[in-house]
A and B are shown apart, each in its own frame.
Chain A
Amino acid sequence: MADMIDRRRILLGGAAVAGAGFVQINPDFLISSAYAQSGKEMVFLSAENITGNWDPTAHTTLSQKNIEGYVMGFLTRTPMKLEDPGAVVYELATDIKLLDPHRLQIKLRNDIVFHDGKPFKAEDVKATFEYGSKPDRPAQWYPGPSETLTIEMPDDYTVIVDTSKGGYPAHLFIFLASFLPIMSAKDVAGGPGGPLTQRLNGTGPFKFVEQRGNATILAAFDGYFRGKPAIPGISFNFVGDSTTRMLSLMNGQASIVERLEPEQVETVKGNPKLTTNEVVSVENKYLWFRCSKPPFNDPRVRLAACHAIDRSLILDLLGSAGHASANYVSPVKFGYVDLKNYPAFDPDKCQAMLAEAGFPKGAGLPPLEYITSVGFYPKTKEYGEVITSMLNDQGFKVSLTVLEPAAWNEQLYHRPGGGPGHMVDCGWSTGSPEPDLILRTHFHSSSHRICGVEDAEIDASLDKERNAATLEERKTILQTETMPLLASKVPALSLFTSVMIHAMQKDLTGLYIYPDGSIDASKPA
């Protein structure tokens, strides 16, 4: 839902050589020893439910990704901090090197075992990549189908990814490595419907025990390569209601809860037993225009609407749940820059644009429907009402439709002739620094994801940045061409970047939380 990671072959085609800037830090994944010593299992309350199919390639669900974060091992992790969005930390890999534009060499650790006892080797990486890139896997986040990939194993602990058959740059795998959980080759051999779907089996700090109703039970893994975690287990529960999660935390039943409302942060701050963790997330919230039908097929009307919206008020409303950003991607993503031409609140410009488009003061505009959800993202209904009133102030005739998530989800996507309504509220979150997971997915004419924009100029610019030879070159194109172009045509308006807020018992202070919400609870005993 929120975490719609692209399933298409977004990075397909175009060779490029890239030299990634690796940061050799290992963030201090600390958790307080006080909590660890209590010997209690950690109770995590999730705002989102899981799919029930444990195959990591079968879903794009954020909460389940979070569970995988505990159980599965990754080649690298990307802390995606504001100060250095491109930073990468090695986990199962010890070294990643681009041999040539189409060949990426990955060296692996040799002291890792899976939870079922199988030693971790290059065959597992090969199996994972080959299986995950199959065209029938639902979570399609590989740059190309399996036949475009050649994976060599010079030895048990080295993997070379060769993309020359597919013709796209191999550096695309650098960012991907940070969120592709590595499965066991034995499980993969079982095929779809085999052991993969039944349980999780990884190399992470916690092993999967069972699913008990809405609770996923995990236990500390003795053989974890950094040592057995101090926390004996994790109970990962789906609790839909934020107040319920909060109450549960307050009466001590839950250890950590996610997706706090900003007001709840106040409550937590007033409670000596609790603490919060705020992290700027990979998720931006957007106001999507239905660009394939009037009146928003006219960029001037879109721009007029953007100038009518005072984003600072929305941020006021969101309080600590929102982080100001002026771009189509989150500041923790590769290529982020505050765009100079990003539309700001300016009633005069709005009126000018409206007049130019032939709707002076909004006269002649049809009634518009703005669809938003309630109960999933923080404060959608509240700022939906604010945006509606701001648009109406400028002469738009907008009515707000608030739907519960399932109905909203059904209405969300583009359909032939444009999706329902004229504007839709939705966020987009991808657990990778890769910006194209958003830009190309949404704004390329071949995609039509939500806004359905078809614009040759944008297409050309998107192709140009993808095919850049190096990451630096690509960054420049993104920041000086592609992103400013989007800001001038506004197929959507990115309102702000979400701040992921967790609240936890004080003895959990220091738990490391990634910008996509996954948590490192692996502090050794």
Chain B
Amino acid sequence: MSAIDPAFTALPIPSPAASSRSIARRILGRAARSTEFRIGLALFAILLLAAAVYPELSGIDPTKMDVRARLLPPLFMGDKWSWAHPLGTDQIGRDMLVRSVVGLRYSFLIGVASVAVTLLIGCVLGAVAGYFGGRVDTLAMRVTDAQLSIPMIILAIAVLGVSRPTIPAIILVLGLSNWPVYARVMRSVVMAERGREYVRAAQVSGATHARIILTLLIPLLAPPILLTSILDVARMMIFESTLGFLGLGVQPPTPTFGNIIADGRKYLLNAWWIATMPGVFLCLTLTSINLIGAAFERARNTIYGGV
């Protein structure tokens, strides 16, 4: 790596004061200093808090319907709005705010869990393929191709048809149908890394392949992949609504963004807020996580990059 400019490599050793803290804490500290991180965190905290306590605190049951007060618009819109329902009500008179935040809970659960499944399968398979190469690689990549070529909808019909469309089944379907992306990315980065000398050093120190993959490569390569997977959390939450659209979504009365959007779609012309609110919450959640993630990434790069 002789391209690295000696001017940069010869930085003075950081003062002992800085180095007394562990790297993770330094990254956290640096990230926490950025405005974006604070905005993101504040937003995320508000959403999290709302999702955690608002339904219980307000005492409003997300499944409690009031047919006579249905399709009330959000605050200050039209002339039927009421303080009791700040974001209006849905087609059977349930409070949109409480449904949105409870929906956020379930959708976030679905999004995060299915991305976790995706990451688990994708990263492990990709890492194994990239690390060992050769036949293992060919086999793993063709399995990936095969998975890629099965349309998600077929998988969804099959799996969700066999079991009732419960949340775990939906997580499984979404997770199973999206891992190839990560397998490919992971494979290519692991392939680049496995030739590096520190991997060899670890082998010579006696570390097993599993140990190298798990303790050296995954911690190194996972964070950027995690960051990119944030978009996928949102995508999964949207995919869940596609399943709802096909009648394969989470069954009522459990509110998820997916079924709120899918059901509210019919009312888009008259009651735009039903299908739109989850989208707004989704966008806010995504943006807040993205802001935090981006601040972390920058902090990581600063600490690791030394510049």
Contact = CB atoms under 8 A, between A and B. Distances in A.
A386 interface: yes
* SS class, residues of chain B in contact with chain A: loop
Contact of A313 (B67, B253, B268, B269): B67
Contact of A263 (B67, B71, B246, B263): B71
A267 B251 contact: no
A386 B269 contact: no
B66 to A, nearest CB: 9
Interface residues of A, number: 30
A289 to B, nearest CB: 21
Question: Chain A binding site: helix, strand, loop or mixed by DSSP?
Answer: helix
Interface string B231-259: 00000000000000011100111000000
B269 A246 contact: yes
Contacts of A399: 251
- A242, A381, A384: most-surrounded residue (chain B CB, <10 A): A381
B159 interface: no
Contacts of A403: 247
A264 B267 CA distance: 8
A124 interface: no
A317 B252 contact: no
Contacts of A316: 67-68, 70
Contacts of A242: 266
B249 to A, nearest CB: 8
Contact of B246 (A314, A379, A381, A404): A404
Interface in B257-287: 263, 265-271
Most buried by A among B265, B270, B271: B270
B77 to A, nearest CB: 15
Given A317-B92, A385-B92, A263 B247 contact: no
A263 B251 contact: no
Contacts of A374: 247
How many chain B residues sit at the interface, stated as a range, is: 20 to 34
A267 B270 contact: yes
Interface in A252-268: 261, 263-264, 266-267
Contacts of B266: 242-243, 261, 263
A266 B67 contact: no
A401 B270 contact: no
Nearest to B269: A267
Contacts of A389: 63, 65, 253
Given A264-B269, A375-B247, A385-B253, A401 B63 contact: no
A263 B270 contact: yes
Contacts of B144: none
B252 A400 contact: yes
Nearest to B93: A317
Given A263-B71, A316-B68, A386-B92, A402 B251 contact: yes
A381 B248 CA distance: 13
B65 A385 contact: yes
Interface of A: 242-243, 246, 261, 263-264, 266-267, 313-314, 316-317, 374-375, 379, 381-386, 388-389, 399-404, 407
13 contacts: A243-B269, A261-B266, A263-B267, A266-B270, A267-B269, A314-B67, A316-B68, A374-B247, A381-B263, A384-B252, A385-B63, A385-B65, A400-B253
Interface of B: 63, 65, 67-68, 70-71, 91-92, 161, 164, 246-248, 251-253, 263, 265-271
